[in-house]
Amino acid sequence: MEKLNILIAGVGGQGVITLGKIIAQSALISGVKALVAETHGLAQRGGAVNVHVRLGEVYSPLIRKADLLVALEATEALRNLSYADENTMIILNERVEKSVLPKIRMLSLEEIKDRLREYKVLSVNADKIAVQGGNPRGTNIVMLSVMMELKLSKFIKEDVLLSLLDERNRKVYLLGKQFIKGWLYAK
């Protein structure tokens, strides 16, 4: 069986850990082995949160290179480039959080995209899609729908995944799915 290595990166409060748990639970119910490891510091103060999710024939929870690097906050993609190579698909939410530390100059979204120009990047305004769906906290679920269309559907049954989501999250999931299908067909 194939395997899939996913690194989910974000900051505290974005649902990074929840997203990892939903993926792992969906995979296990779908009959696919899943291992998860979380690394986080001062997550409640806007600190970095990373979740490693491995699906398929895997034997340890931490990844070396990601097949998918999912950044719920754009700067986190740059912080985690050590997990990426030329084959990694970076799914970038277009949100840039202001640092909680004073006098820190944050990069703009354009600067971040410029630094990622040598990688495969799919830029998604997941925050906007979540707001359009009436669930501003559903950014992580929008990113989940993008991941499903790109790679996850080989490992997770969509009906299983949808059964784990409440009505609000199902709505933003479907909006995210419309976005990624439009993006794929536009290519």
Mean per-residue pLDDT for 171-180? 95
pLDDT for the residue numbered 45:
63
The answer on pLDDT for 43 being more than 60 is no
State what percent of residues in the chain have pLDDT above 70: 96
pLDDT for the residue numbered 122:
96
- Report residue 97's pLDDT band, with 50, 70 and 90 as the boundaries: confident
20-25: long-range contacts at Cβ-Cβ below 8 A with a sequence spacing of 24 or more?
20/51, 20/52, 20/53, 22/144, 22/161, 22/164, 22/165, 23/53, 23/55, 23/144, 23/147, 23/152, 23/156, 24/53, 25/164
pLDDT for the residue numbered 155:
97
Mean per-residue pLDDT for 28-43? 87
pLDDT for the residue numbered 54:
98
Q: Comparing 135 with 14, which gets the higher pLDDT?
A: 135
Tell me what the pLDDT averaged over the chain comes to: 93
Mean per-residue pLDDT for 90-110? 88
- Report residue 183's pLDDT band, with 50, 70 and 90 as the boundaries: confident
d(CA 31, CA 130): 29
Bridge partner list, 91:
70, 122
- Report residue 92's pLDDT band, with 50, 70 and 90 as the boundaries: very high
pLDDT digit string, tens, across residues 123-160: 999 999 999 999 999 999 999 999 999 999 999 999 99
Record the pTM. Answer: 0.92
pLDDT for the residue numbered 42:
63
d(CA 66, CA 68): 5
Mean per-residue pLDDT for 86-115? 91
